[in-house]
Amino acid sequence: MNLNRIRYMFGESWIMLNRRLGAAVISVFIMGLSLLILVIFLLLTLNIAVMIDRASEELRIFVYIEDGIGRDRSQEIQLSLLGMNGVEEVVFVSKSEALTTFKEALGEESDLLDALERNPLPDAYKLKMQHDMMRSDELERLAGQIEEWDGVEEVRYGEKWFERGEKFVKGFYVVDLVLGLIIFLSVIFVISNTVRLTILYRRKTIDVVKLVGAPSSYIRMPFIIEGAIQGIVAALLALGLGFLVYYFAHRYFPGITFFQLEAALLFVLFCAVLGAVVSYMAMRRFIRI
């Protein structure tokens, strides 16, 4: 392939974009807006996933110790807990600490506790689990195992809530995936139609270029390059508008996050490839070369 020709190919795409800037801007705008829907959807998914993650991150298993088993047995239990598969961290919560926390939780009503002659709360170990252990069957198995031990009164982790939460998360991901697929397909549909119109619009130009003996790569490449450029600009537009949405939402939901730089770059790259591929397909369908 001749080097000049490659240069001219880029020149052609530049001319095409430049001379019909209005049309190019409109089609990029249409592409950008439909990509914005995808971006907002991805943002929602991301933030809900982060929320779910955080919630499960905060979950702790409480292992309550029988009163009066003595320090040695208590320490043995701690060591065994640490040795268990999937346990990340074991923190001792003494009964007095527990009472303080309880009092704080009660707030103004904490006077009620003053009526108690002695602390009714047991000592406990608070377990933080590894992330991949956060499944109801795993936790149930683990809890059952620990409850058998001597000196352990009870194991608690809010089983009912956890199971319900887990079901909800599963359901959410299924719905999210289906919804995502629909949005994705419609975005591709809109983009390919927009690109197809641009190419149809340039049919005369293509005929002329064919007539003067351009090789098919010379005819196709400018469109592919143009498609990629439009994809990139549309992706940046969508990300920009998406960021604006995020920025305003952030005031009301301070916990939410935006895409990381890598993810954003990946999105731009994806749109570039999408634009190029869609352009190529449209060319193939319309122009017998």
Partner 1 sequence: MNQDKRIIVGVYHLNKKLGKHFSLEDINLQVANGEFVFLVGPSGAGKSTLLRLLYMDNMPDSGQIVVGPYISTRIKRNTVPSLRRMVGIVFQDFRLIEDRTVFENVALALKVTGAGMREIKRQVTDILTRVALYHKRYEFPPALSGGEQQRVAIARAVVNRPAVLLADEPTGNLDPTATKNVLELLFKVNAGGTAVLMATHDIDLVRSFGQRIIYLEEGRLVRDKEMIYTGDLRERIDDSRVSKRAERMKDLDITGGKGE
Q: Which residues of the shown chain bind partner 1 in the complex (CB under 8 A)?
A: 2-5, 8, 11, 15, 19-20, 204-205, 207-216, 218, 289
Least CB distance to partner 1 at residue 229 (A):
18
194: which 2 tokens? 């927009």
Choose between 19 and 170: whose C-beta lies nearer to partner 1: 19
Least CB distance to partner 1 at residue 5 (A):
4
CA 114, 117, 118, 120 torsion: positive or negative?
negative
Least CB distance to partner 1 at residue 16 (A):
8
Least CB distance to partner 1 at residue 19 (A):
4
Choose between 10 and 168: whose C-beta lies nearer to partner 1: 10
Least CB distance to partner 1 at residue 221 (A):
12
Choose between 1 and 182: whose C-beta lies nearer to partner 1: 1
Give the full edge-to-edge strand order of the sheet including 152-156: 87-93, 124-129, 61-65, 152-156
What gap in Å lies between CA 207 and CA 219, rounded to an integer? 10
Choose between 61 and 283: whose C-beta lies nearer to partner 1: 283
Least CB distance to partner 1 at residue 24 (A):
12
Choose between 9 and 143: whose C-beta lies nearer to partner 1: 9
Count how many Cα atoms sit within 13 Å of the Cα of residue 32 in the half-sphere of its side chain.
Answer: 19
119: which 2 tokens? 């602390």
Pairing between strand 152-156 and 124-129? unpaired
CB within 8 A of 279, min separation 6: which ones? 195, 199, 223, 224, 226, 227, 228
Residue 236 dihedral angles phi and psi, to the nearest 5°: -65, -40
Nearest to 279 by CA among 217, 206, 202, 220: 220
Choose between 32 and 222: whose C-beta lies nearer to partner 1: 222
